[in-house]
Amino acid sequence: MVCPYIEKMRNERAQYNEVLLVPNRLNVLKVGQKGWIILESNTASTGYSWRLIPNNKGIYTVDRHFYLPPAPLIPGTPGRDIWVIKAVKMGRDTIVLNYGRGNQVAATARYAIEVR
């Protein structure tokens, strides 16, 4: 079952030619199109954060990255780490993000993309 918040975000993004990227699946984008990655994050209480692992293929750029705190603000409640990427040239790649603190990696998220 898809989280209602995510479903609402998916519907809103579609009207702007933006898509919500799905982990562990091929996501197809057109050149110029934006894709959203939304990850649960408990940065405030754990010090853990999501980090994008850079690559050299150059088929996408990071348009923006921001943290959306939980509402209401309750200690220990996770917020959302949001990455917006923009497809800039044709090709295939995998976007990899690690969740952790310092050199520790507690989780990894992978998003395969193909830009046509």
Distance between CA atoms of residues 86 and 29, nearest Å: 9
Residue 83: domain span: 4-115
Q: What are the C-alpha distances in Å from 50 to residues 37, 66, 86, 91?
A: 11, 11, 18, 25
Average pLDDT (31-42) is: 95
Distance between CA atoms of residues 115 and 85, nearest Å: 12
Order of strands across the sheet with 107-115? 26-29, 107-115, 91-100, 49-53
Query: Looking at residue 24, which CATH number applies to its domain?
Result: 2.60.40.2020
Helix (H) or strand (E) holding 10: helix 4-14
| Chain segment 70-92, per-residue pLDDT in tens | 888 777 788 899 999 999 999 99
Nearest residue to 37 via CA among 58, 70, 60, 71: 60
> pTM for the whole thing?
0.81
Side-chain-side CA neighbours of 108 within 13 Å: the count stands at: 8
Structural domain tally of the chain?
Answer: 1
Give the pLDDT band of residue 46 (cuts 50, 70, 90): confident
Model confidence at 102: pLDDT above 90: no
Q: Please, are residues 99 and 53 in contact by the beta-carbon 8 Å criterion?
A: no
- pLDDT for the residue 47: 84
